[in-house]
Amino acid sequence: MQKRKLGKSGLEVSALGLGCMSMSSGYGPAGETQAMIAVIRAAVENGVTFFDTAEIYGPWKNEELVGEALAPFRGRVKIATKFGFKIGANGERMDGLDSRPAHIKEVAEASLKRLKTDVIDLFYQHRVDENVPIEDVAGAVKELIQAGKVKHFGLSEAGANTIRRANAVQPITALQSEYSLFWREPETEIIPTLEELGIGFVPFSPLGKGFLTGKIDANTKFDASDFRNVVPRFSPEARKANQGVVDLVISIAARVKATPTQVALSWLLAQKPWIVPIPGTTKLTRLVENIGGAALQLTPDDLREINAASDKLTLQGARYPEHLQKLIGR
């Protein structure tokens, strides 16, 4: 697989990474451990060198999974993880954020142990904590970088002003936020800011939380533990209203002899050379399909057609329930 550099930082990774969250939480029951390890290791063997996790996924279980799976390959891969949510002493999820510098350093030490490594390649603030100045957050990560425990600093779902303030204290390597044909809002302000500052972009949910695969429609039933049950954009009414974006990728895919998934990923990769999507999956077949998206080259005419058709679509439904919507773009 081709490599890409995240902004001007010099962090070189595969053009597609692997988002590991769904292996432990978010989209239904956690996968069986050995099966998930097999998927992660198959990704390595197929050229993926960039793996994304977070302490809150599980919580903790996903970092442990990623650490075990990648231990034999540590010299070949880059691991990104995140801090910033409150987690109880027994691993229970709690409401609220915690990006106090002392807590960031505690999380780093715990994540290093779970990941079975002596350095975190990319350490993101998971969500902007309005109770802690972003300069203090950036300063704490800068100290971890100086101590050799972290290599690169990142933010997730941050607004442009926060990105600028943090970057002035410790250069940011990457911003992780949602971006896809199902959510193009970052094109307005975020992508121009990243380009100006030389920051890479790591889109999560590059397949619209599965919607762009063409496998979901208004009649799809999600597992009771699936996060999409509470996402307004995934109400049956919204799915029906938003079918046009799926029809678009299906029509292009039929013409270029690829799958809708591959078209959606190829489109994303074509937007900027410093964009590295991290599609997640628990299935080997989907992993191989996703990797095929990195090999697909859409023509300029294909891209113009997709953009023109996408610009005419008005998508329905918020991408988060209200209590989580408040945590993005700050």
Task: Indicate which residues carry an active-site annotation.
Answer: 57
> Quick check: 153 and 171 in contact, CB under 8 A?
yes
What's the token pair of residue 127?
A: 């969500």
Distance between CA 176 and CA 8 in Å, rounded? 16
> Taking Cα atoms as reference points, which of 223, 217, 190 lies closest to residue 329?
190
Distances from the Cα of 91 to the Cαs of 58, 86, 87, 94, in angstroms? Answer: 8, 10, 6, 9
The SS3 assignment for 52 reads strand
36-42: list long-range contacts, CB under 8 Å, 24+ apart. Answer: 36/65, 36/69, 36/282, 37/65, 37/68, 37/69, 38/284, 39/281, 39/282, 39/283, 39/284, 39/287, 40/65, 40/66, 40/69, 40/70, 41/69, 41/72, 41/73, 42/284, 42/287
- For the purposes of burial, counting CB atoms within 10 Å of the CB of 230, is it exposed (0-12), middle (13-18) or buried (19 or more)? middle
Crossing angle of helices 134-146 and 160-169, in 10° steps, is 40
The SS3 assignment for 294 reads helix
Query: Which residues in 117-157 belong to E strands, given as ranges?
Result: 120-125, 150-156
How many Å is the maximal CA-CA distance in the chain?
A: 54
User: What sign results for the dihedral spanned by CA atoms 123, 128, 130, 131?
Assistant: negative
142-146: list long-range contacts, CB under 8 Å, 24+ apart. Answer: 142/169, 142/170, 143/101, 143/105, 144/104, 144/105, 144/108, 144/120, 145/170
